[in-house]
Amino acid sequence: MFFHRQELQYAATPEAPDAVYARKLQEVLGGQYGEITVALQYQFQAWNMHIPGKYRDLVFGIGAEEMGHVEMLAVMIAQLLEKAPLGITEDAVQDDPTVAAIVGGTDVQQGIVSGAGARPVDSNGNPWSGSYITSSGNLLADFTSNANAEMQGRLQVARLYHMTDDHGVRDLLGFLLARDTMHQNQWLAAVEELKAEGAEALPVPGKFPLENEHREVSYQYLNFSDGQAAAEGSWAQGPAPDGLGEFSYHEGTTTTAEMPAPTHPDARFYGTTDVPDVVEKAAGAVQDATETE
């Protein structure tokens, strides 16, 4: 059950309206690594978790906080759009107000669709997508994904911090940066705790029988690039992080297989499967190669 309290975890007010920056801020609200994504990602992970206790409570708790961050950013975007010019400006390069707004970098749908408010989209206006969410049921995989989401989110907020001189906006972003610092460390700590307690282990999934995989290639670094410096890395020599194997370096692959001959698909697909001239030429080429050998 959810209740809404009409308060913000942290309140900040911009010094001046800025429709262009409001559009930029949409990225950390409705982008792939925005607050909508992490809020719902953590909630779905908690809802799908099969064990009670500290990990489930951890995910529920941070998921609720992230929902508050959605609200904080939505309010900030609305404040930036308040009394901001959404049409033509004196120095616009076009006479048409809509074109001028686009050239100026504003999101015209914030004026047309949302009435000078935030929208569940990224900075290019792409709608937020549920496909951004990772919720696999494997805690080690999910918590590692969560750490990456917080890293990407903090990276974007840090970039946005340097795109404005507005002290009010920077105040809010400084708070979000601090919380992302905590959340990165939190997920990484949870990962280590999972491994230490034996709940999950590398490689994920840790409970899959290793004898069912091709162990001879499990720790081979296969170099398919003409750059060879990768051989100097710890991933090409020495013990693997899972403690179950030793890395080795190889140029290209250590195994190859013949390409299977093409097959005829179901006739109802109406694929082209019989081109006489091509077939005859191919057969002749094979015969010539055989005779040459």
How many angstroms separate the CA atoms of 256 and 43, rounded?
44
Buried b / exposed e along 68-100 (16+ C-beta atoms within 10 A): bbbbbbbbbbbbbbeebbbebeeebeeeeeeeb
Percent of the chain with pLDDT over 90: 74
Distance from C-alpha of 92 to C-alpha of 97, rounded to nearest angstrom: 9
Distance CA 42, CA 187 (A): 11
CA angle at 240 for the pair 238 and 243, rounded to the nearest 5°: 115
- Could you tell me which residues are beta bridge partners of residue 251? 223
**Range name among 176-180, 257-261, 274-278 with the lowest pLDDT average:** 274-278
Q: Which domains does the chain possess? A: 19-196 (1.20.1260.10), 209-293 (3.30.1530.10)
Q: HSE, CB side, 13 Å, CA atoms: give it for residue 190.
A: 24
For residue 131, give Cα distances in angstroms to 27, 32, 68, 110, 225.
16, 9, 21, 24, 31
pTM: 0.85
Residues 43-73: pLDDT tens digits? 999 999 999 999 999 999 999 999 999 999 9
Q: Which residues lie closer than 8 Å to 56 by C-beta, 6 or more apart?
A: 46, 49
CB 140 within 8 A of CB 192: no
Chain segment 126-184, per-residue pLDDT in tens? 999 999 999 999 999 999 999 999 999 999 999 999 999 999 999 999 999 999 999 99
